Amino acid sequence: MVKIKLLLNVLTVCIAVVGYLPLQPYLGPFARVFLPGALLLGLYLQWKERPLSARVLTPSSIILFLFFAYGFRMDRLVPVTADLLVVFLGVRLLGERSGRNSLQVFALSLFCLAASSLYSLSELFLVYLLLLLLLLAVSLVVLTFHSHDPDIVLPRDQAKTVLSVSTLIPVASLPLLLFFFLILPRTQYPLWNFATGQAGKKTGFSDVVKPGETSTVAEVKGVVLRAICSKVPEQQLYWRGIVLNGFKEDAWVRLPPPREFQLPPKGETLSQEIYPEPSQSIYLPALNVASAISGVRNEKTPDGVFTGRGRLDKRVKYNAESVLSDVVQVKGGIDRDFYLKLPANVPDRMRAKGRELNRPGIPAAERMRLLERFFHEQKLSYATTRLPVGADPLGSFLFDKRRGNCEYFASCYALLLRLAGVPSRLVGGYRGGTYNAMGGYYLVTEEMAHVWVEAYLDGVGWQFVDPSAWAIGLPRPNERAGALRMYLDAAGFYWNKAVVTYDLEMQMDLVRSAGNKARNIRLPAGTARMLATLLIALLPVAALLAWYLRRPGSAEERVLKRMLRAVEKRHPGEARGNEGLFELAARLNDSEFRQFVSLYGDAVYRDRHLNREELARLDEIIRKHRQHGS
């Protein structure tokens, strides 16, 4: 035997947990702990049959609301709302398991799941959503039995039948959900960005490079982008994003680049379909060197940097065409004075080394070779901890500590080139990538953020140089990953590609494609006559269906409408739309109406039809009610 009350309690707890789990990582400390505690306390109170009453829960809810409202700001609209939803859900779990309270738990759980989508719409969201819909469908059926009689007990066979039939309800609705997913319009901008003005995480590279600000660089392993393309050699896996060409005090920054005419790079073109993660960046990274980018509105600067018209704070995709080249050729030369400017403070040891390289008669290419030899002789190590800081971090890196990350290597090399009379600039982007053979794409993460150098040589162009490659202990790009991780990442990637980035533009493309295919359809001869005959044959069926849909309601509906009209005539304006029959009869103190409701409810609310004797008795009650009313 299965107790309906116990079954409803179990389902209610499961629904609350499913609504809470996807939101849990984004909650504040209080809300994160409150719901599990309330859940355990609620189970204990249910076991003791001493749930908290509304006299306790309602003031508690008001106090908690005021507590969270005190810390409300517009930039914290979503976090505060999410915390409140979870806290209210916990409060509901402390009360009795009445039908109304159970429905409130169901609604709050659904709202919590919806709130989690404002933070992350990953493939796990679909799992939670389907599970919650399944539990809700079963719970609503069980709640129907509970509202009829909370103490009802079903045999195991009947309980299995009820659960299996109710489980089929959401399963049967899946084709309809897919249909609406394809046709319903949607916005390209997530609500989280609209509500807070910020979204996503910062990308791995920065528009400012200033070595010496910190002694430790923490590695963040968040995903930056995924790029569908063929596999390329490891030494060419450089994703060019930004060019830093000048100084603001002692930091490398991006200044408006001078005009120059880049020539198309020579070599075989490699196409990439790139899916960046939402961020606050405006830069569109692509394999070095990109010649064109399409799919999003963008601009190309004179130094070959591609920027979007706005921040990439939503899921988008763009296509890039690149030529894997180490040289960017320029027609007509460059502004040498611009690319030879020095920072406000140049360490004496750096200036002395620059003068040593800038001797007359030494070509620029030879100065670069001498500088490379110097870096090798210094035996510099690649490190992200115990980095040089202080007033002269570059000099300390190059001559004393001799350990640093890519920012130290690139900054020192580019600065020494300028001191040696060779125009130079920094390039920021990413180095390496994990190739996912399951999905055929590269996964680029934030710890792959990298800085390298481009040096200008007359007659050659901008020459690619990565000084970090000369370091001792340079970490190799992560090209391999476990099979399980590849499967999971591929599943998440194609979820984003098929669902999250499926926007209005893709819907319009689908409609246009369907229209083009429809225009190309050629029907066989005689098809039009056959369709007309079929349409004529279906007209009687349609008429019969229309009559069936418009026919008067059942006997129960008709007798109830007659009674309600009589009650309205005797008690004008007293009936309320949200009030049940028994509540209305008790409030009006109408003897005939109470008799009607008692007889009517005894049949209809027990899920059976009225028989002829009961209908005759109800008609007699209505007649007497009208006589007394008149």
Most confident option among 163-167, 485-489, 545-549 = 163-167
Check residue 408 and give its pLDDT: 96
Phi and psi of 153, rounded to 5°? -125, 130
Instruction: Give the β-pairing of 461-465 and 327-328.
Output: antiparallel
Residue 543, helix vs strand vs coil: helix
220, 153: one domain: no
Asked if 204 contacts 220 with a C-beta cutoff of 8 angstroms, the reply is: yes
pLDDT (average), residues 602-628: 84
Q: What is the DSSP letter of 227?
A: E
- Is the predicted pLDDT of residue 194 greater than 60, yes or no? no
248 backbone φψ class: left, alpha, beta (φ>0; ψ -120 to 50): beta
Q: Extract the runs of DSSP E, i.e. beta strands, from 102-216.
A: 153-154, 208-209
73, 50: one domain: yes
Amino acid at residue number 445:
T
Phi and psi of 239, rounded to 5°? -100, 105
Does residue 178 form part of some domain?
yes
Domain boundary pick from 169, 193, 217: 193
pLDDT digits (tens, 9 = 90+) for 394-418: 999 999 999 999 999 999 999 999 9
610, 467: one domain: no
- Is the predicted pLDDT of residue 189 greater than 60, yes or no? no
Identify the CA nearest to 227 among candidates 271, 275, 270. Answer: 275
342, 409: one domain: yes
Does residue 247 form part of some domain?
yes
How far apart (Å, rounded) are the C-alpha atoms in residues 36 and 624?
A: 58
How far apart (Å, rounded) are the C-alpha atoms in residues 83 and 27?
A: 6
- 17 or 476: which leads in pLDDT: 17
User: How many structural domains is the chain composed of?
Assistant: 4
Mean pLDDT of the chain: 82
76, 131: one domain: yes
How far apart (Å, rounded) are the C-alpha atoms in residues 361 and 503?
A: 61
- Reading the block at residue 377, the tokens are 């002789």
At how many degrees (to 10) do helices 174-183 and 156-172 cross?
20
State the distance between the two ends of the chain, measured CA to CA, in whole angstroms.
54
159, 216: one domain: no
406, 385: one domain: yes
Does residue 354 form part of some domain?
yes
Long-range contact pairs involving 178-182 (C-beta distance under 8 Å, separation at least 24)? 181/499, 181/502, 182/507, 182/510
DSSP codes of every residue in 355-401: HHH--TT--HHHHHHHHHHHHHHHT-EE-SSS---SS-HHHIIIIIS
How far apart (Å, rounded) are the C-alpha atoms in residues 396 and 278?
A: 37
In which band, very low, low, confident or very high, does the pLDDT at 531 lie, cut at 50, 70 and 90?
A: low
Does residue 505 form part of some domain?
no
- Is the predicted pLDDT of residue 532 greater than 80, yes or no? no
Does residue 514 form part of some domain?
no
- Global pTM reads 0.56
pLDDT (average), residues 66-81: 75
Q: H or E element: which one contains 37?
A: helix 29-47
Check residue 89 and give its pLDDT: 87
Instruction: Give the β-pairing of 381-382 and 403-404.
Output: parallel
- 551 or 224: which leads in pLDDT: 224
How far apart (Å, rounded) are the C-alpha atoms in residues 350 and 250?
A: 14
239, 141: one domain: no
pLDDT digits (tens, 9 = 90+) for 414-444: 999 999 999 999 999 999 999 988 788 999 9
528, 481: one domain: no
576, 607: one domain: yes
Domain boundary pick from 166, 193, 220: 193
Task: Give the domain range for residue 184.
Answer: 2-193
Asked if 379 contacts 472 with a C-beta cutoff of 8 angstroms, the reply is: yes
Does residue 516 form part of some domain?
no
- Reading the block at residue 44, the tokens are 């204990």
Rg (CA), the chain: 36
559, 530: one domain: no
Residues facing residue 244 across a β-bridge = 426
Asked if 389 contacts 212 with a C-beta cutoff of 8 angstroms, the reply is: yes
Residues 6+ away with beta carbon under 8 Å from 143: 8, 99, 102, 103
> Residue with structure tokens 């100084």?
247
Check residue 215 and give its pLDDT: 80
What CA–CA distances, in Å, run from 233 to 264, 436, 479, 575?
Answer: 22, 15, 11, 79
76, 137: one domain: yes
Long-range contact pairs involving 150-157 (C-beta distance under 8 Å, separation at least 24)? 150/4, 150/5, 151/3, 151/4, 151/5, 152/3, 152/4, 153/1, 153/2, 153/3, 153/4, 154/1, 154/2, 154/4, 155/1, 155/2, 156/1, 156/2
- Is the predicted pLDDT of residue 525 greater than 90, yes or no? no
> Residue with structure tokens 């084709």?
175
pLDDT (average), residues 500-507: 54
Check residue 81 and give its pLDDT: 84
What CA–CA distances, in Å, run from 429 to 26, 267, 432?
Answer: 29, 22, 10
Please tell me the least confidently modeled range out of 291-295, 417-421, 500-504, 592-596: 500-504
Check residue 369 and give its pLDDT: 96
Domain boundary pick from 170, 193, 216: 193
- Is the predicted pLDDT of residue 187 greater than 50, yes or no? no
How far apart (Å, rounded) are the C-alpha atoms in residues 581 and 594?
A: 9
Asked if 101 contacts 45 with a C-beta cutoff of 8 angstroms, the reply is: no
Does residue 237 form part of some domain?
yes
Tell me, rounded to whole angstroms, the distance of Cα 465 from its chain centroid. Answer: 37
Asked if 32 contacts 112 with a C-beta cutoff of 8 angstroms, the reply is: no
Check residue 475 and give its pLDDT: 80
Does residue 431 form part of some domain?
yes
Check residue 553 and give its pLDDT: 65
- Is the predicted pLDDT of residue 132 greater than 90, yes or no? no
Identify the CA nearest to 455 among candidates 274, 328, 572. Answer: 328
Check residue 551 and give its pLDDT: 58
In which band, very low, low, confident or very high, does the pLDDT at 377 lie, cut at 50, 70 and 90?
A: very high
- Reading the block at residue 270, the tokens are 């490699």
